[in-house]
Amino acid sequence: MSIPGLGQLAPTAAPIATAASPASAPTTTQTLKPFWEYRFDVPHGSTLGIKLVSGTAEKDGTELAPSTPYAFTATKSKINTWHGCTLEITAPASGTYDAYTSEPTAEETPMVSYLNLHFKLESLRAAAQRTGSMGPRVLVVGPPNAGKSSLTRTLASWATRMGRQPLVVNTDSREGMLTLPGTLSAAVFATLIDITTDWGSLPSSGASAIPVKLPLAYYYGLPQSDDNPKLFKRLLSRLAVAATSRLAEDVDVKSAGMLIDTGGIPTGTRAAAYYDFLGHIVAEFSVNIIIVLGSERVGSEMQKRFAGQTTTVGDTITVVGLDKSGGVMERDESFMQSIRESAIREYFFGNAKMTLSPFTQQVDFAAVSIWRINEAPAATSADGAGITYDDGETRTDTLEKAEPSMMMQNCVLAVACASVHDAPDTIRDANVMGFVYVADVDEKRHRLRILAPVSARLGDRPLLWGSWPEHMVNLLI
């Protein structure tokens, strides 16, 4: 299971890229001029090999090592260059992919504005380091598919290349950061990110060529933040306390500050609730810089709500609007579902670089304590202005005790860092130790067949059951 915390494991070896496709696959050479981008879309089941032959290039702020093959699968991304480069492209031996070269100038690419933002953040970090104060706390917001996670990753990568250790926070439960979907997480990034993945490999029991980042995660278990506003805000507050505590105790992280990624702001009646959540994030994390990506409407709303206000530590809040990168590709629901299933498989069985051996065990119904994540009741107000949650409502509990049933089959359960003897509020607020998978439910014999990443009994740890990530096909078939 993953180890809870905000640190990282020590490096075990020098960074090594994944081997590319076999040499028998077709290979071409792609030359990029300064500020050009090589954009590619690799579906599941295909593997695209890329190697930097000459010049310099980077993916989401992390530089490609010269003459080192990288293998990309199930990804939509881009490689950009500031000074020009030559890439060797190895097409999939089986399967297809889509790729093209974008040819913007320095005046046309938003990457220049992203770089200017990085230098401004770096100056704030240097000033914070001199005075012993807190570095910038940056919140990245925007509509869906605007490139928020890519920008957050890029800013984090550039910061680590400057010797900084930023604390990166993910508040989008639909996508996990260094953990499975359904969680809110935070981790310190002090070393480079594996560019063949989004955020790096999931913490696992095997050795890794690139230092593994260890996230602190809280299980929300629902796809949308307004599915249970009370629980979502509660977990955000718990994550904020842990994050700000790390900043207070670690001078390097304190001066580097925070980078906070968010989910896409919807349109229509649900937007009001999401702006309320953003206000909660700004208050809890003492955000002093808000980056609005790819939407003038969202930028105007954020200016109206936050510009000129002060944080809990006395800093003035600044709202900055940036253009969306043309390299951001829309990811449909089927693609994202495949990504979630791949993350679950990787957590238990590893990937092409490292194979893991999970442990299957039979557990009696009476030996487990399972708590179901409740969804909030639907809004009944006539104006439909989002979901409200009052303490006076009849259904106020965020958790309820659940008995094992066939509904749990093929579900992922979170193992809470708590005891089965703890109160429901304590279990709700506990961080995640790891995950188990319910492979089979035998209602006649009152037994569960559970797949765990390590060969250890669950002990007295309670299990949390939510609707996200959704049911998937049997992992053991």
CA angle 25, 30, 32 (to 5 degrees): 155
Give Cβ neighbours of residue 202 (< 8 Å, ≥ 6 apart).
2, 178, 179, 180, 343, 346, 347
pLDDT of residue 203: 74
pLDDT at 396 over 60: no
For the chain, what is the mean pLDDT? 88
pLDDT of residue 283: 96
pLDDT of residue 76: 93
Q: Which residues pair with 109 in a beta bridge?
A: none
pLDDT at 93 over 80: no
pLDDT at 71 over 80: yes
Annotated binding site for ATP: 37, 76, 145-150
Q: Which residues pair with 69 in a beta bridge?
A: 51
pLDDT in tens, 118-132: 999 999 999 999 999
pLDDT at 387 over 70: no
CB 255 within 8 A of CB 246: no
- Segment 417-426 shows an average pLDDT of 93
238 band by pLDDT with thresholds 50, 70 and 90: very high
Domains and CATH numbers, the chain: 113-322 (3.40.50.300)
- Segment 136-141 shows an average pLDDT of 98
pLDDT of residue 23: 46
Q: Helices (H), strands (E): how many in the chain? A: 8, 23
pLDDT at 308 over 60: yes
In Å, how far from its chain's centre is CA 305? Answer: 26
Annotated binding site: 37, 76, 145-150
CB 323 within 8 A of CB 113: yes
Rounded to a whole number of angstroms, the CA Rg of the chain reads 23
- Segment 252-258 shows an average pLDDT of 97
Q: Give the global pTM.
A: 0.90
pLDDT in tens, 146-205: 999 999 999 999 999 999 999 999 999 999 999 999 999 999 999 999 999 889 877 766
